[in-house]
Structure 1
Amino acid sequence: MTLEVGFSVTHRRYVPYSHAHYGGDLVDGAYGLALFGDVATDLAIHTDGDESLLAGYSSVEFLAPIQAGDVVEVTASVTRIGTRSRDLSFEARVLCRAAPERGPSAADVLDPPILATKASATIVVPPKAAGGSAPA
């Protein structure tokens, strides 16, 4: 296990059209937050050997839309280590986007990627998993 400030985990995911919730093939903001929950769980397993619980978000910024047909990369990074809590920062970036004007399956790699969502949150691990961690 690697419990240190700066440790990060990254996931990539294709956003299927079945997840579009609004006009313009937009997905709702909760879609990105669900991805943050998944990557936070993965990070906690790596750092503490436990899935953890999300205690709460201290900030969430929706900066650009996530759309069906996007390839999204989400990263969670440890920013603070407490006795049983860990503060995390999250970013969701759109790496690829559908280009339906060129054809039904056309898509583009975005250079640079679009920063769609940023957030900060606290997760909590049980005492057994947190043994040996740095003090709060």
Structure 2
Amino acid sequence: MSGGAREGLTVTHRRYVPYSHAHYAGDLVDGAYVLGLFGDVATEVCIRADGDEGLFASYSDVQFRAPVRAGDVVEATAVVARVGTRSRVLEFEARVVCRGRPDRGASAAGVLDDPIVAVTATGTVVVPGPGV
């Protein structure tokens, strides 16, 4: 059941980025992949806070800060920054927490001591009003 929308509510997902998602040289993944992850964490925020999947209305800011590559493990987090009657402003951050190490072998990988902030964003979701 709904816990009630509140500022500071945080949801985090982790996902391995498969090689099938690499579109560019160097096994780079397009930015839309991370925006999809942000949509997933936003949906869970809405479910936890409002008992409804909600709808993503807009991004007011997206910053691509570092590359995401196939073989990475990416952690996507959404934090409720502001709560309106039907809208919730969310702050997003995607961090690379594990990365492949092809210099050590074809399937070598490691946990990063310092995660890499790859994408940040601010977005707004809307949920049904009371009694809907």
Q: How high is the TM-score relative to the length of structure 2?
A: 0.95
Which of 117, 122, 125 is equivalent to 2:124?
122
Percent of residue pairs bearing the same amino acid type: 65
Aligned letter for 1:29? G
Higher helix share: 1
Q: State the alpha-carbon separation in 1 of the partners of residues 40 and 130 from structure 2.
A: 22
Aligned letter for 1:37? G
Gaps of 5+ in 1: 132-136
Aligned to 1:26: 28
Question: Deviations 1:60-97 (Å, cap 9, x if unpaired)?
Answer: 00000000000000000000000000000000000000
1:9 counterpart SS class? strand
Q: State the alpha-carbon separation in 2 of the partners of residues 106 and 94 from structure 1.
A: 16
Q: State the alpha-carbon separation in 1 of the partners of residues 64 and 113 from structure 2.
A: 20
Aligned letter for 1:10? T
Aligned letter for 2:62? V
Q: How high is the TM-score relative to the length of structure 1?
A: 0.93
Q: State the alpha-carbon separation in 1 of the partners of residues 85 and 24 from structure 2.
A: 42
Aligned to 1:96: 98
Does residue 66 of the first structure (1) align with residue 75 of the second (2)?
A: no
1:102 counterpart SS class? coil
Q: State the alpha-carbon separation in 2 of the partners of residues 72 and 92 from structure 1.
A: 6
Q: State the alpha-carbon separation in 2 of the partners of residues 49 and 85 from structure 1.
A: 14
Runs of 4+ more than 3 Å apart: none
Gaps of 5+ in 2: none
Q: State the alpha-carbon separation in 1 of the partners of residues 24 and 83 from structure 2.
A: 38
2:75 counterpart SS class? strand
Aligned letter for 2:40? D
Q: State the alpha-carbon separation in 2 of the partners of residues 3 and 55 from structure 1.
A: 17
Aligned to 1:15: 17
